[in-house]
A and B are shown apart, each in its own frame.
Chain A
């Protein structure tokens, strides 16, 4: 039976009180369902959670929503500001609307699902998390991405994957241009299987043809300093 959600109305409760209440939850809490009303674009909503609870934010969130998330599921029923799920370690963050810049920045684990578009620098410094964007991503997305997966169903903006390390990038639409040291790579069976798994985890199994995607990654030419590659910078 779905538990009755704990409801916090930010019209009469501070973000500090909301987060303090969420941080006080133990990993085995039975208060697993939370609903936040009137978020009003406030910052750091549900940041630093560390229990397997579900927090539904009934409106728009500001900067750093679900920042550094561990174990929790956070759903934004609206748009999210800069740095949603930044440095997420585990869990799941879902934005039903659009996400601003630096979505999933430096995230180490978990899944970030963006229903609309994401702005610039989506997945910047990505360190192991999975990001699935149903729409398009802005410029410099996956900049210096180290590990993890970025799946874009729409288009990617300028300098996609600039200075990338070992993250896996899949784009179904048009890539404006690739950044330094980022190249298109062949789609092999293992890549199709990985992509299918990521789409399935995002609830998109069967809805999207993995064969329509192209794969991008590092050429690894700049992994060592070498004078012959100086012009690439």
Chain B
């Protein structure tokens, strides 16, 4: 037997096994990888921040007694009927079509129980979600699928979608497996086609047009409804300033960890910036315009815990929005379906072929038998529980920092664990007073 020491097999860091597999898949199929969800790569994120808590110079609140308010009002700048929510955590836009009717109903039920809003998506408003959502935000998208003035009037707010964090500059995508007869009818599309939504609005271009578009929507709704403008995080300072200039009541910034129903993997992983990097520029734009807390800022993309909520608010957001986490609360990627995930060539926690419509949890599907697996009442309860936990966690942190309202959290309460996070969040590196680009030691 040859006992000469041998070099161990060594994978390339550049051509790692996942990269090699993707090259082989591309060579075999000739089509880019399409998947759901947000960026999966490791990014600077809220885990890279810590709260300082109270000390001799800071006075905490009793954790289980003293009130820590959580309410937020959205849209008071121009709308006659601004939205009042009990918690600053909303449900992000997700379409009927990408999600089953049961999943949309569950989101509405959960949000309503928790005292917050849910949002339609790129496919119009269903009666189910309107009926089960006390506060429903109606998305106004480039595709205008299912767009009609009756739904505009029965919505509680309007969200003009310029882009989303998973794909700033990209339109929606819904593959043929999910274009069921009902979805096709709502979107005025042939059944079974691979739908490629528009990436640009059909009747406005640029901030000057947007101002006129917002004015039209206000006219049609008699100035009653708050109007949000949602952008994917790429140039948050300028986009926020332009949205304010255009007359938005609320600005929504969605970071690259924010999910999508279906998009090219290369788009999700390589376009846009992390949520952490988007907040301070947006807040700076609002502050420079004297509009911070007057035009509300909603931040989304990778919010998972009450700590994430508290950190986003401390950096200056008025509210956050969750999508992926809400789906997980409903039952998405649950290990109890592991055998079925294995049969689909994946595993619980990694399943992201939402576009194929074969979701064992019955959430990202239009298959009636799969969709029937999701009990909207039970799933709604689970979402409400999760939202309650997020709120309690954020309150626990806020009280420790001596804040009687979540909105009283501030950058001064935070430090960063990494130089990258310190630079992006513009808070000091822990143990120092140094903020990269801002001086300090």
Chain A interface (Cβ < 8 Å from any Cβ of B): 15-16, 19-20, 23, 43-44, 47-48, 50, 62-64, 67-68, 70, 82-83, 86-87, 89, 101-102, 105-106, 108, 121, 124-125, 127-128, 143-144, 146-147, 163, 165-166, 223-227, 230
Give the one of B189, B216, B223 with max A CB within 10 A: B216
The residue that A124 contacts in the complex, of B148, B203, B216, B221, with Cβ under 8 A, is B203
Contact check, A68 vs B220: say whether CB atoms are below 8 A apart. Answer: yes
Contact check, A50 vs B29: say whether CB atoms are below 8 A apart. Answer: no
Number of interface residues of B (CB under 8 A): 32
Chain A residues within 8 Å of B198, by CB: 125, 144
Contact check, A48 vs B147: say whether CB atoms are below 8 A apart. Answer: no
Contact check, A70 vs B31: say whether CB atoms are below 8 A apart. Answer: no
Contact check, A20 vs B149: say whether CB atoms are below 8 A apart. Answer: no
Q: How far is the CA of A23 from the CA of B224 in the complex (A)?
A: 13
Q: How far is the CA of A163 from the CA of B193 in the complex (A)?
A: 13
B108-116, B154-162, B207-215, B252-260 - interface stretch: B207-215
Contacts A223-B193, A225-B31, A227-B30 given; does A44 touch B188 at CB 8 Å:
no
Contact check, B222 vs A23: say whether CB atoms are below 8 A apart. Answer: yes
Contacts A83-B204, A89-B148, A227-B30 given; does A48 touch B220 at CB 8 Å:
yes
Interface residues of B in 141-189 (CB under 8 A from A): 143-144, 147-149, 152, 175-176, 187-189
Q: Is B16 interfacial (CB-CB < 8 Å)?
A: no
Contact check, B202 vs A106: say whether CB atoms are below 8 A apart. Answer: yes
Chain B residues within 8 Å of A108, by CB: 148, 188
The residue that A48 contacts in the complex, of B143, B149, B188, B193, with Cβ under 8 A, is B149
Q: How far is the CA of A44 from the CA of B190 in the complex (A)?
A: 32
Chain A residues within 8 Å of B176, by CB: 224
Contact check, A83 vs B194: say whether CB atoms are below 8 A apart. Answer: no
Chain A residues within 8 Å of B215, by CB: 43-44
Contacts A89-B149, A106-B202, A223-B193 given; does A15 touch B144 at CB 8 Å:
no
Chain A residues within 8 Å of B203, by CB: 64, 82-83, 86, 101-102, 105-106, 121, 124
Closest beta carbon of chain A to B152's beta carbon, Å: 7
The residue that B194 contacts in the complex, of A15, A124, A225, with Cβ under 8 A, is A225
Chain B residues within 8 Å of A63, by CB: 209, 212-213, 216
Contact check, B222 vs A20: say whether CB atoms are below 8 A apart. Answer: yes
Closest beta carbon of chain B to A154's beta carbon, Å: 22
Contact check, A47 vs B188: say whether CB atoms are below 8 A apart. Answer: no
Add 13 more A-B contacts to A86-B203, A106-B144 (CB < 8 A): A15-B219, A19-B222, A44-B216, A44-B219, A63-B209, A63-B212, A68-B220, A82-B209, A87-B147, A165-B190, A223-B194, A224-B193, A225-B194
Q: How far is the CA of A124 from the CA of B31 in the complex (A)?
A: 28
Contact check, B188 vs A105: say whether CB atoms are below 8 A apart. Answer: no
Interface residues of B in 10-39 (CB under 8 A from A): 29-31
Contact check, B204 vs A87: say whether CB atoms are below 8 A apart. Answer: no
Closest beta carbon of chain B to A132's beta carbon, Å: 19
Chain B residues within 8 Å of A227, by CB: 29-31
Q: How far is the CA of A50 from the CA of B175 in the complex (A)?
A: 35
